[in-house]
Amino acid sequence: MLRISSSVTLGDWEIDLSQIRAQGAGGQNVNKVASAVHLRFDIPNSSLPPFYKERLMKLSDQRISKEGVIVIKAQSFRTLELNREDALERLRELIQSAARQQKARRPTRPTKASKRRRLDSKTQKGKTKALRGKVKI
């Protein structure tokens, strides 16, 4: 059972974990042992509250397919258990990030002093470049 928050939990039957061989370098061990984990989680058919489902479907994350299936591949560690924990933790973080309310951005204007500093630096650069011209004799 995966606990998302104090009131939301996911059952083990909702999360599909399968073992796969890890990619990349690693010598003989990588070719013999299936230590990577492939996690699949179907958002529309899950027991998540509708609020979580809507927010997850709106996310533009490459791990979420058009059909609403989250696919996470964990192969950072050498053991299957650590990779399984890593995949479940990444799923928890993804769902929790969808539930967080984004802080509204309030547009700001540059201050009068910062405008003056910018214009002064432009003037200074122009003077420096003007001195690079031909010397009159």
Mutual orientation of helices 80-99 and 50-58 as an angle, nearest 10°? 100
Distance CA 9, CA 3 (A): 4
- Please state the pTM of the whole predicted model: 0.69
Give residue 31's pLDDT band: very low, low, confident or very high (50, 70, 90): low
The mean pLDDT value for 44-58 works out to 88
The mean pLDDT value for 13-24 works out to 85
From 3.30.160.20, 3.90.1150.10, 3.30.70.260, 3.30.1490.20, which CATH number describes the 2-99 domain?
3.30.160.20
* Contact between residue 31 and residue 21 where contact means Cβ atoms under 8 Å apart: yes
Distance CA 84, CA 35 (A): 9
Listed by start position, the domains of the chain span: 2-99
Report which of 81, 58, 61, 82 is spatially closest to residue 71, judged by C-alpha positions. Answer: 61
pLDDT at residue 40, as a whole number: 93
